[in-house]
Chains A and B, each alone.
Chain A
Amino acid sequence: MHLELQGVTRKVGAETHLYATSVSLAPGEINVLLGPTLSGKTTLMRLIAGLDKPSEGSVIADGVDVTGVPVRERHLAMVYQQFINYPSMSVFENIASPLRIAGKLNEQQIRERVNAMAERLHISAYLERSPAALSGGQQQRCALARALIKEAGLLLLDEPLVNLDYKLREELRRELSDLFSSGSTTVVYATTEPLEALQLGGQTLLMHEGRVLQHGPTLSVFSQPCSVIAARTFSDPPINLFEANITDGVAQLSQDIRVPLHADQQSRIAGQRNVQLGLRAHSLRATPRENDFALGCSVDLAEISGSETFVHLKRGALSMVAQLPGVHDLSLGSESTMHFQPSDMFIFSSDGALIYAPEV
């Protein structure tokens, strides 16, 4: 389905939940709505679904204005955070229900389709059980199977993995990008997690305080965030930000930290004196490479993710986070030198607009 939102807004009483938003979502594309809680993801999704009516603007599906058409008359499927299944039906009947309602297939065809879908979601063994007898992960797989079997033009998923164990989340995330990649279904997927967007790929719409900040291919939004807020929204761990004064191609971060800028950075800055520098946590390294800038810091805290260590560091009034591969047991207060390439720094103007993004 080709979906177009034309200046849709959503106001509830005096509050604006979504400011005027115009976007076009291509058929068969995966679209990730990425933003923190209350950024407007669910509001936007409910407008797309027809669960709520926009205060202004229109929703166009395949060229037809569907604004105000109720959800049950739209050709779409939804998956929610909560695992929603029909408790009185077996898993098989849950998955079969959209086909039975559509009434286009005979019993044999329904059986084949349900079995094939159950196979794809690895729940074939549980078809005769009731959903309540399944684990959370299996319940959500059942809800996903029911949504996918509908082969609706539009599939909406509102943080579908948030209530799962992270290991199940990791597995389902990988499967989902495969499941979504086939067919002409347009997928809209809301999440608060930058890593989830990167894993799903497709297009990302960055959301913040009721506005779409940026819309584009996921990797280019990640590597070229349009503003400081966009960079923050799409960084986990948080992006390191420093105020800096520029003199003769050198960025002064504090009394004693002067980072010589790369020629490309200097030319983009074009005479601006006050800028903000952004350095993603993974750009800081424990071992130096050629042309690295070395920064002596003290360790505030080392957090371990399993395969990586997030080191919180302080240098005078500056604080920052480094994301190092592997497990590093750095004790609180110890001295540590971090290294980075000056050309890996993002540069934002004093009002937050992107001036320079590192090459990928």
Chain B
Amino acid sequence: MARIELAGIAHSYKPNPSQPSDYALRPMEMTWQDGGAYALLGPSGCGKTTLLNIISGLITPSQGKVLFDGHDVTQLPPEKRNIAQVFQFPVIYDTMTVGENLAFPLKNRGWKNADIERRVAQIAEILELSGELKQRASGLTADAKQKISLGRGLVRPDVAAVLFDEPLTVIDPHLKWLLRRKLKEIHHELKLSLIYVTHDQIEALTFADQVVVMTEGEVVQIGSAQALFEAPEHTFVGYFIGNPGMNLLPCSLRDGRVLISGTDSSLPAPASLDIGAGQLTLGVRPEYVECLPTETAGALPTQVLSARNMGTHWLVEGELGGHRIASKQRTHHPTHSGDTVWMKLPADRTLYYLNDKRVA
């Protein structure tokens, strides 16, 4: 296993990039610690797969260096980088048994049979494949095949890192649950360096110690699940993490109060809010917004657009100064579309962003 450094990495699919939007991956520095579990999270086209391919060697970056334990591997192809990869769709040999598939990467590297058997048994045990080792891989469901692909990716203990590219896409939701849990256990037991690309927040937040959130070719925050949820550093993180995402309301600062744009409503401004030029935005997560049926001091009058019973909670969505605001609650005061409710934003859960970056 290795520490992986990206030094001044950037990548453009255009020959002469001149502006930030020409880059699939904007210039960046990053270090991935040995034995860490990282997730690259972001929407399609955010650059996460480009970043993964630079680490694996499928792409040579337009600029910068890739270092594994201090050695420059920038020009090395994937097969010379000592990495394992798991892709979106199963890559296994149909003519082999499940056990032979798992053993293949070890056999290739000249392992002794007894050692192979021991390691394959260990991986099979973790992935609950022990009973199926003698079974032929052909004819298995996509789910089962992908489980074997995961096993093959994890079987070698000596790789610099295991790279996963959306490995649970073909998996049924109920089994996804189990596999998310398995991957977490695997990281604990095997201590491999894992880098995992996904657009699914649950996969990323559960699996990784550190989540790298990307948008438009840029890393906007690296942090734990808790940090991303409770203290998003960028409005994109607020929007992208959580279902629904953070409520984001344009506002302005006037006489020590925060005036919500398009309304007469204002809130006391936090003392630390000292802004420069640019767009100020208030951010508060739906989980923290209280929805009250009667006028309450400090709460914002809001027109209800919809109130929906989601089985495990109620979701009330309203309109405030032309913007959508959601409140997610376990208990519910009956409200209907068209009603006025009072949304209460707790001061200690309300964050402020200037030009999308957090300032208070």
Residues from chain B with a CB closer than 8 A to the CB of A192 are 172-173
Given A37-B172, A199-B308, A306-B242, 9 new contacts (CB under 8 A) = A36-B172, A166-B199, A166-B201, A168-B43, A198-B309, A198-B311, A303-B181, A306-B229, A307-B243
Q: Which residue of B lies closest to A235 (CB)?
A: B311
> Is the pair B229, A135 in contact by a Cβ cutoff of 8 Å?
no
C-alpha spacing A198/B45, complex, angstroms:
30
Binding-face segment, A86-94, A106-114, A323-331: A323-331
**B272 CB–A CB distance under 8 Å:** no
**A165 CB–B CB distance under 8 Å:** yes
Q: A192-B172, A307-B243 are in contact. Are A332 and B308 (CB under 8 A)?
A: no
Residues from chain A with a CB closer than 8 A to the CB of B177 are 236-238
Residues from chain B with a CB closer than 8 A to the CB of A194 are 311
Closest 10 CB pairs of A and B: A303-B206, A304-B205, A307-B242, A282-B312, A304-B225, A306-B201, A165-B199, A327-B229, A327-B226, A306-B242
Q: Mark B213-226, 1 if CB is under 8 A from A, else 0.
A: 00000000000111
C-alpha spacing A327/B211, complex, angstroms:
14
Q: Which residues of B contact A (CB under 8 A)?
A: 43-45, 143, 172-174, 177, 180-181, 184-185, 188, 199-202, 205-206, 224-226, 228-230, 239-245, 285-287, 308-313, 328, 330
> Is the pair B309, A219 in contact by a Cβ cutoff of 8 Å?
yes
Min CB–CB distance A244 → chain B (angstroms)? 24
> Is the pair A222, B181 in contact by a Cβ cutoff of 8 Å?
no
Residues from chain A with a CB closer than 8 A to the CB of B181 are 301, 303, 312
> Is the pair A327, B225 in contact by a Cβ cutoff of 8 Å?
yes
Q: A303-B202, A305-B201, A332-B188 are in contact. Are A135 and B311 (CB under 8 A)?
A: no
Min CB–CB distance B35 → chain A (angstroms)? 16
Option from B172, B226, B330 in Cβ contact (under 8 Å) with A325 = B330
> Is the pair B309, A236 in contact by a Cβ cutoff of 8 Å?
no
Q: Identify the interface centre among B172, B225, B310: most chain A CB within 10 Å of its CB.
A: B225
Q: A166-B201, A312-B181 are in contact. Are A307 and B229 (CB under 8 A)?
A: yes
> Is the pair A136, B225 in contact by a Cβ cutoff of 8 Å?
no
Residues from chain A with a CB closer than 8 A to the CB of B184 are 301, 303
C-alpha spacing A238/B201, complex, angstroms:
19
> Is the pair B43, A167 in contact by a Cβ cutoff of 8 Å?
yes
Q: A201-B308, A306-B202 are in contact. Are A301 and B43 (CB under 8 A)?
A: no
> Is the pair A167, B240 in contact by a Cβ cutoff of 8 Å?
yes
Q: Identify the interface centre among A170, A199, A222, A301: most chain B CB within 10 Å of its CB.
A: A301
Min CB–CB distance B152 → chain A (angstroms)? 23
Q: Which residue of A lies closest to B244 (CB)?
A: A170
Residues from chain B with a CB closer than 8 A to the CB of A280 are 312
C-alpha spacing A238/B229, complex, angstroms:
24
Q: Which residue of A lies closest to B42 (CB)?
A: A165
- CB-CB contacts below 8 Å: A290-320 with B: 301, 303-307, 310, 312
> Is the pair B44, A165 in contact by a Cβ cutoff of 8 Å?
yes
**A195 CB–B CB distance under 8 Å:** yes
> Is the pair B173, A306 in contact by a Cβ cutoff of 8 Å?
no
C-alpha spacing A66/B331, complex, angstroms:
47
Q: Which residue of B lies closest to A168 (CB)?
A: B43
Q: Which residue of B lies closest to A332 (CB)?
A: B188
> Is the pair B328, A329 in contact by a Cβ cutoff of 8 Å?
no
Residues from chain A with a CB closer than 8 A to the CB of B308 are 199, 201
**A193 CB–B CB distance under 8 Å:** yes
Residues from chain A with a CB closer than 8 A to the CB of B225 are 304, 306, 327, 329
Residues from chain B with a CB closer than 8 A to the CB of A301 are 181, 184-185
C-alpha spacing A21/B337, complex, angstroms:
37
Q: Which residue of A lies closest to B211 (CB)?
A: A304
- CB-CB contacts below 8 Å: A198-231 with B: 198-199, 201, 219, 222-223
Q: Which residue of B lies closest to A178 (CB)?
A: B306
Q: Which residue of B lies closest to A137 (CB)?
A: B44
> Is the pair A325, B287 in contact by a Cβ cutoff of 8 Å?
yes
Q: Mark A108-145, 1 if CB is under 8 A from B, else 0.
A: 00000000000000000000000000011100000000
C-alpha spacing A303/B178, complex, angstroms:
11
Q: Which residue of A lies closest to B200 (CB)?
A: A166
> Is the pair A307, B240 in contact by a Cβ cutoff of 8 Å?
no
Min CB–CB distance B144 → chain A (angstroms)? 12
Q: Which residue of A lies closest to B229 (CB)?
A: A327
C-alpha spacing A223/B45, complex, angstroms:
39
Option from A136, A193, A198 in Cβ contact (under 8 Å) with B310 = A198
Residues from chain A with a CB closer than 8 A to the CB of B242 are 306-307
C-alpha spacing A323/B308, complex, angstroms:
19
Min CB–CB distance B323 → chain A (angstroms)? 15
C-alpha spacing A167/B202, complex, angstroms:
12
Min CB–CB distance B128 → chain A (angstroms)? 14
Min CB–CB distance A221 → chain B (angstroms)? 10
Residues from chain A with a CB closer than 8 A to the CB of B312 are 280, 282, 323
> Is the pair B328, A307 in contact by a Cβ cutoff of 8 Å?
yes
C-alpha spacing A122/B320, complex, angstroms:
22
